[in-house]
Amino acid sequence: MEKPNTNVSLKMEANIVVMGTESVGKSALTVRLLTRRFIGEYGDIESIYSRNFTLDAREVTLNIWDSPYSEDLSVEASLFHKKVRWADGYVLVYSICDRASFNAISRLIQSIKSTKDYLSADKAPIVVVGNKRDLHHRRTVLSEEGRLLALNTDSLFYEVSAAENYHSVLTVFHGLVDRMKDARLAVKRPLRFKGIVKSMSAVFARRRTDSL
Ligand code: GDP
Ligand code: MG
């Protein structure tokens, strides 16, 4: 009897960058997604991780770029453009206990939207994440503020605790992948020249990748 062809599902590969100011939990979120664990201290991790996931019966390769925030604004600015060009989707993290980190997110969204051209019909694949939900007694940013920012910028919004919960973190990336599918930015298609250059730099970047 002939085996059914199981190789018909469309594979997807996407580059995701995790951004936000210092100590908001970018590394904690990334490491939680990849290992399901919360280690507590992460140092200045700079890495692009590549990992396969099965989401909605579809195999998805996610390349996730986590880097420390640089206080040197010129370094931050040049890296910012590199990240925005590289990425197909954006995880923008703030801490619900840090008002300045929230303010930085609105500026990031505007910069991303003006750096990368999105067709008006497509929603920019951005997810706004309010992290450290477990520290609600120290909260300075209301959930409604995060929700409103996302609504006004056509982004997704989640509040999570990387410290306490794996599933909420998974939901963030799941939501973003759905958004990217909608935007049809990350579905594999014949590579144009620009696409090949992009893939090459992703390969080189991955040489530095630590595997956790
Ligand atoms: P990054 O600089 O944005 O990468 O931030 P890190 O991931 O290194 O986290 C900065 C600090 O916040 C560390 O001490 C983490 O343990 C802590 N942290 C990260 N996520 C959470 C969280 O959800 N809740 C709490 N209470 N602490 C967190
Ligand atoms: Mg970090």
- Residue-wise pLDDT for 114-124, tens only, equals 887 654 446 67
For the whole model, what pTM was predicted?
0.84
| Residues whose CB is less than 8 angstroms from the CB of residue 135 and which lie 6 or more positions away in sequence, other chains included | 95, 96, 97
Q: Domain ranges for the chain, please list them.
A: 11-205
13 bridge partner residues: 61
The verdict on the CB of residue 25 being under 6 Å from ligand 1 is: yes
- Residue-wise pLDDT for 7-36, tens only, equals 445 678 999 999 999 999 999 999 999 999
Cα of 9 vs centre of ligand 2, distance in Å, is 35
By C-alpha distance, which of 198, 181, 209, 155 is closest to 10?
181
Best mutation site among 38, 42, 65, 97 for ligand 1, i.e. most ligand atoms within 8 A of its Cβ? 42
The verdict on the CB of residue 139 being under 6 Å from ligand 1 is: no
CA contacts within 13 A on the Cβ side of 101: 24
Determine the Cα–Cα distance for residues 153 and 177; give it in Å rounded to an integer.
18
Fold of 11-205: Rossmann fold (3.40.50)
Task: Give the residue-averaged pLDDT of 165-188.
Answer: 82
Determine the Cα–Cα distance for residues 49 and 80; give it in Å rounded to an integer.
18
Cα of 69 vs centre of ligand 2, distance in Å, is 7
Cα of 95 vs centre of ligand 1, distance in Å, is 9
Per-residue pLDDT band at 138 (split at 50, 70, 90): very high
Best mutation site among 21, 27, 35 for ligand 1, i.e. most ligand atoms within 8 A of its Cβ? 27
DSSP 120: T
